Amino acid sequence: MHSTAELMRKARAAGLVIPAFNTPYLPMVEAVVRAVVDEDSFALVETALLEWYKFEAKSASAVAEEYHKHQDPAHVRLHLDHVPVIDEDGKRWDYLAVIAQALAVGYQSVMVDGSRLDLEANIGATRVVAELAHAAGVPCEAELGAVLGHEAGPLPPYEELFESGIGFTDVREAKRFVEETGCDWLSVAVGNIHGAISGALANQKKMEAKLDLMHVSKLSGATGIPLVLHGGSGVKREHVLEGIKRGISKINVGTEIRHAYEHTLRDAGSVSAAQDAVYDRTRWVLRDYYGVSGDSKNLVG
């Protein structure tokens, strides 16, 4: 069986993308797996630390247990998303313990997020996690730059953020970061933003974003590894498709399917109906947004 690291390298070489679906509610896991299998696509099922205490995913172990009930390695793998050294609320986490526990329960790739540290500290934290992951035969994702959106309160106007390049991943820093950490994939800031997770903003439609495509090309050339786009929901489709050609090999999708689950559960009062809404929206993302239906054979086959 191809490792997740091999599949990501294959996607980058072929100009393909592997979507990664966040599951902040445990019943979403089954719906996402079913949708990916029925589209004959390939994707990651993922969970982030903040989804365990700000939503209802409970823990890395709880998501892994649910995933293993429905797993299909020809179509899906399990990924540990954002484990922050310091989170959006300024809290410092024992990130090594969290990642070690996830590796022990079968996660097939992991992410450490040191993006709120200075460059030297981010390099140091990421290097340790990469060594830990590699010792377990698992790839490590890291983040450099500031993908905004999870912080409490409204963001500045999007166009102001984009034109200023605030938080964009620096190309020279990215080259050094990859060389010194040994990370396998790099989450970059190139105009993408996370969906809000706090207060009333969490239920609002996410603002449309765009990508600085020339910046994507420069980062891809400088790092030589698969790039990751966090905050994939709501990005202009033509920018996404062009970004994939330029080196974006993994795109995280959260808000798009989370809203489908939450809104249906609120309106219908049925977990089963909410799962069906996630299933339908996931199939739409795979088929109509990314156009990756049938890609399983191009990656795993």
Q: Is 113 considered catalytic here?
A: no
- Exposure string (b/e) for 147-157, b if CB count within 10 Å is 16 or more? bbbbbeeeeee
pLDDT confidence of residue 154: 61
CB atoms within 10 A of CB 97: 10
Given a contact cutoff of 8 angstroms between Cβ atoms, the answer to whether 32 and 45 are in contact is: yes
β pairing state of 227-229 and 140-144 = unpaired
pLDDT digits (tens, 9 = 90+) for 186-197: 999 998 775 443
CB atoms within 10 A of CB 252: 26
Contact partners, residue 135, CB within 8 Å, separation at least 6: none
**Low pLDDT (below 70) residues in the chain:** 148-156, 158-160, 162, 164-165, 194-207, 233
CB atoms within 10 A of CB 140: 26
pLDDT confidence of residue 83: 98
Contact partners, residue 281, CB within 8 Å, separation at least 6: 256, 257, 260
What are the start-end ranges of the H helices in the chain? Answer: 4-14, 27-38, 50-53, 60-70, 95-104, 119-135, 158-164, 171-181, 213-223, 237-245, 255-268, 271-284, 296-299
User: Where exactly are the structural domains of the chain?
Assistant: 4-299
Of 81, 170, 184, 295, which is the active-site residue? 81
Calpha distance 290→295 (Å, rounded):
11
pLDDT confidence of residue 210: 84
- Provide the token pair at 181: 């950490």
Q: Which CATH class is domain 4-299?
A: alpha beta
pLDDT confidence of residue 191: 84
pLDDT confidence of residue 71: 97
